[in-house]
Amino acid sequence: MIKIYPLSEAKEGILKRKPIYQDSYSPATIARTESVFGEGVMPHQAVMQILKSIDEDGDAAVQKWNATLDRFDAPNFGIAKADLKAAWERIPARLQEVLEKSAARIRDFHERQPITSWLTNEMGGEIGQRFTAIERVGVYVPGGTAPLPSSMLMSVIPAQVAGVKDIVVCTPPNPHDSILAAAYICGVDEVYQVGGAQAIAAMAFGTESIPRADKIVGAGNLFVTLAKQQLYGLVGFDGLAGPTETMVIADADANPAWVAADLLAQAEHDVQASAILLTTDEEMAKKVQAEVAEQTAKLSREEIIEASLENKSGIVIVESIAEAAKLANDYAAEHLCLAVHDPKALMDQINNAGGFFLGEHSFEALGDYVAGPSHVMPTGGTARFASPLNLLDFVKVSSVVALDPETAAALSPIAADFADTEKLTAHANASKIRMKSA
């Protein structure tokens, strides 16, 4: 059952962003961690053990953790290109068509994103910016409670469009054929059966089998996120993904069955997923609540959905659409669905969202698979400052300075005075020595 909250209660509960402290791990997570790593070992400490061992022992440590955590002890965890092709040939023709059409739209969307190096001679000589693709990218594709071939497409294709030449993929052992088939149609040559924190460590440090990546992208579970957090700086990351979330703003004219379906589509991801409805209409709230109950009973992941609805989800009654816009802007949802009469006008009132889904025909599940933009989006309120995965995640910007002698001579006294102010005499000397020559 999804609960209907008054606004005051929601502000102190489901709408309130909270930092993730080490003591916020669920009892079940702590119990699972202690069963493997020993009594009193917290998840972040377990991840530290995994990272250290892979840094020191490479493939041997990867094999150890594969066997310990995923019951997969094969010494060779690479997947041959022939096996990717075989997986493609095994999947149904309709799934082949689905993957191809989704891949085409994702590629088409990202090919439209402008990324252009530039130089100008209007500032004396030449000055500008140079965009170059990151040389080697690691992609993590989750495969825990459900196979996610869409995550392969959504992460690999933008990297390819950006010009990344070397892409390595890690995914938990014994991956579903659909994941391997997605790798095949993307043309990925390196796929390894390694999951969790050990996958992030292997791509960050490099092992005998898995070359070191310059940047790693892709969402994962708590242990993947903790590994990213601890390795930040050694390697680049797209972000620290938290549980997925959606927020729907609906007016009195919205379709309650569709709104409920969209909330449930998010809730089924994870017991910590958030599915929140803001509505001005109390009758709409009650209809959606009833629809959620009716539809949940027919869905395969009913237990996960019910836990999600109980933990971090709910329906909130607000005074006006304008108030809903303010709440949405403060919450900064990963997915913001606007089921209102004029969604474009409402979007103009909101700055913070990973993705805007305008109108009830642009529902979020389409964005997960086939609309075009990557579904790897900022969670946990980070949409206030972060963006969905896009081409800029796979390129570096270098400044280019090629001043002519006249401009350099004109700027040198300014630089020298700046350096003297900062008491950096060597900086000042580099300018003054040229001034004497001029």
Decide: residue 192, CB within 10 A, 0-12 exposed, 13-18 middle, 19+ buried: buried
For residue 182 the two structure tokens come to: 């997605």
CA 302 to chain centre: 25
Q: Which of 353, 386, 357, 350 is nearest to 371 (CA)?
A: 357
CA–CA separation, 237 and 218 (whole Å):
9
Task: For residue 68, give the 3-state DSSP assignment.
Answer: helix
| 2 secondary structure, DSSP code | P
Name residue 248's beta-bridge partners.
Answer: 277, 337
Give the CA diameter of the chain.
84
For residue 82 the two structure tokens come to: 């022939």
**C-alpha dist (Å) from residue 58 to 52, 191, 235, 239:** 10, 17, 17, 25
CA–CA separation, 431 and 436 (whole Å):
9
Active site residues: 334-335
Phi, psi (rounded to 5 degrees) for 138:
-100, 140
CB 93 within 8 A of CB 101: no
CA–CA separation, 307 and 90 (whole Å):
35
CB 379 within 8 A of CB 115: no
Q: Which of 376, 335, 396 is nearest to 224 (CA)?
A: 376
| 216 secondary structure, DSSP code | E
